[in-house]
Each structure stands twice: as C-alpha cells, then as structure tokens.
Amino acid sequence: MDEIVGSQQACQGNVFDKACPARAVLEVLAEKWALLLVHMLANGPARTAQLRRQIGGISDKMLIQTLRRLERNGFVARRAFPEVPPRVEYSLTALGRSLSEPITTLDRWVERHLQDIDVAQREFDQRSA
C-alpha cells in the first residue's frame, strides 16, 4: 500500500505518467471484458457459468483472468462454497459497486449516441475504401 501511495504522490494524479498507479487501474478497467463484468455483477452475485452465458463471446480463460484482475484491484469478491461439486460466486465489493454508476452512465451515453457513432463509422469506411 505504501508503494501505491508513494507513487501516487509522485505522479500527482497524472494518468499520462506511466508510473502513475491510477493509470494501471484505468488499464485494468479498460480491458475488453472488465466493464461488462462489473456491469453484470451490479445485478447481484453470479457464478462463473452464469457470467459466461450472459456475456456473449467471452472465453473461460478471459473470464477468469478478468475476474482475478478485478478481484486483485478490489472491485470483485470471490466466494468459494465448501460443497461438492465446488461452487464459486463473484460479487461486487463496495468499491466495485461505486463503479456501477459511472458504468451505467457510460452505457446510457453509448446507447444515446449509437446512431451517431454508426454514421461516423460508415463515413470513415467510405473515405478509407
């Protein structure tokens, strides 16, 4: 923890500085599946298979890797139940729940501007062809 605090003071919140710990956290959140997983877990705890079914296209490997990164950074909690067969459930921590609002805001922004983005993509593709 002292390492993060010391680095944070050194970079003074400048996410453009590669040594800034905030940049490392943003890199975790910017990964392809991270925001989708946080968004999905905002609905409540879920098992691995449930998350895989609900988030189309994610492989088992990427699902577990992303959940582990989110867990390491304090956004997700993993709970293993002493059962046979083993059961593992993931949920958002308080820190993860605090991310839910900005993610929902971003999701709504994308939905509001999806048509504009589609037009921009088609115009770009036509110019680039």
pTM score, two decimals?
0.82
What pLDDT, on a 0 to 100 scale, did the predictor assign at position 9?
A: 57
Go through the domains of the chain in sequence order and give each one's CATH number: 1-30 (no CATH), 32-128 (1.10.10.10)
What pLDDT does residue 20 have?
A: 87
What is the model's pLDDT at position 74?
A: 97
**Phi first, then psi: what are they for 16, rounded to 5°?**
-80, -15
Other Cβ atoms less than 10 A from the Cβ of 83: the count is 8
Q: What is the 3-state secondary structure (H, E, C) of 20-37?
A: CHHHHHHHHHCCCCHHHH
Query: Residue 24 has what pLDDT?
Result: 87
At residue 11, the pLDDT reads: 67
For every one of its 129 residues, what pLDDT tens digit does the chain have, with 9 covering 90 and above? 445 554 545 566 688 888 888 888 999 999 999 999 999 999 999 999 999 999 999 999 999 999 999 999 999 999 999 988 889 999 999 999 999 889 989 999 999 999 999 999 999 999 998
Question: pLDDT value at position 1?
Answer: 44
Neighbours of 41 (CB within 10 A): 24
pLDDT at 13: 67
